[in-house]
């Protein structure tokens, strides 16, 4: 067992065993990936919320749906809500031109909106499962590194005639670093996942409510 008096963070990592160093490197990569996804998801949700608010403002101004549909198709505005509206109104218009019965027309528009809704939610939820995985697995990976490091520390004591705190402290400190880095990777991932999951749930409710309201509007137009 290597005994050294410098217990700085970098020195402890350099003197750690290969297994502990590999675990620390893995946790560092997981942490970097999770922070990258956190920033990407934050910008994505902000953009989606902004586009949803803007589209709802335009929609509830009471303008012509055909005009709003053309604007949404040409400018590609409205974000997820605009895509849901475009899908539903496109199917509605297609069936109206074909002279389909009102029940068939409305059902087709609802199915188109539901499919577009599912695609938008899937896109918004992308990589959230990865954040949840990092948040749940990282502490255990760090704990494995700690157990391995402590095991090596006590194995090293077999070669020491008299065990003292100076003999044990470096090995224990090296081992505990893995747990610390595991928590450092896990905590932001868990907090971000819970926050983003709440945002996605609120968007999902808004999308679902909009589909019901648009279905009622289309039903009134049919009759």
Q: Is residue 208 part of a domain?
A: yes
pLDDT at residue 103 in the model: 76
Write out the residue range of the structural domain in which residue 161 sits: 46-222
Instruction: Report mean pLDDT in 10-residue bins for the chain, 223 residues.
Output: 56 76 92 95 92 86 78 64 88 80 82 92 92 94 87 71 63 81 93 95 93 87 71
The answer to whether the pTM exceeds 0.85 is: no
Q: Is residue 157 part of a domain?
A: yes
Q: Is residue 204 part of a domain?
A: yes
Q: Is residue 120 part of a domain?
A: yes
- Residue 170 and residue 188: Cα distance in Å, rounded? 28
Return the structure tokens found at 38.
Answer: 């956190």
3-state SS string for the chain:
CCCCCCCCHHHHHHCCCHHHHHHHHHHHHHHHHHHHHHHHHHHHHHHHHHHHHHHHHHHCCCCCHHHHHHHHHHHCCCHHHHHHHHHHHHHHHHHHHHCCCHHHHHHHHHHHHHHHHHHHHHHHCCCHHHHHHHHHHHHHHHHHHHHHHHHHHHHHHHHCCCCCHHHHHHHHHHHHHHHHHHHHHHHHHHHHHHHHHHHHHHHHHHHHHHHHHHHHHHHHHHC
Q: Is residue 113 part of a domain?
A: yes
Q: Is residue 165 part of a domain?
A: yes
Q: Is residue 21 part of a domain?
A: no
- Residue 72 and residue 62: Cα distance in Å, rounded? 15
Q: Is residue 188 part of a domain?
A: yes
- Residue 60 CA from chain centroid, whole number: 31
- Specify the number of domains making up the chain: 1
pLDDT at residue 185 in the model: 92
Closest CA to 55 of 44, 67, 68: 68
């Amino acid at each position: 067992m290597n005994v050294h008096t410098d217990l700085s963070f970098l020195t402890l990592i350099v003197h750690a065993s290969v297994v502990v160093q590999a675990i620390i490197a893995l946790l560092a990569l997981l942490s970097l990936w999770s922070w990258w996804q956190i920033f990407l998801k934050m910008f994505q949700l902000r953009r989606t919320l902004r586009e949803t608010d803007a589209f709802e403002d335009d929609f509830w101004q009471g303008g012509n749906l055909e005009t709003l549909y053309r604007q949404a198709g040409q400018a590609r505005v409205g974000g997820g809500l605009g895509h849901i509206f475009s899908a539903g109104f496109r199917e509605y218009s297609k069936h109206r031109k074909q002279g389909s019965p009102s029940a068939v027309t409305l059902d087709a528009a609802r199915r188109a909106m539901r499919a577009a809704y599912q695609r938008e939610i899937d896109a918004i939820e992308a990589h959230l499962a990865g954040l949840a995985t990092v948040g749940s697995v990282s502490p255990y990976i760090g704990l494995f590194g700690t157990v391995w490091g402590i095991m090596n520390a006590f194995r090293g004591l077999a070669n020491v005639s008299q065990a003292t705190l100076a003999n044990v402290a470096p090995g224990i400190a090296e081992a505990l670093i893995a747990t610390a880095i595991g928590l450092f990777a896990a905590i932001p991932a868990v907090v971000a996942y819970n926050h983003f999951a709440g945002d996605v749930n609120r968007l999902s409710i808004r999308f679902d409510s909009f589909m019901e309201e648009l279905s009622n509007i289309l039903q009134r137009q049919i009759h």
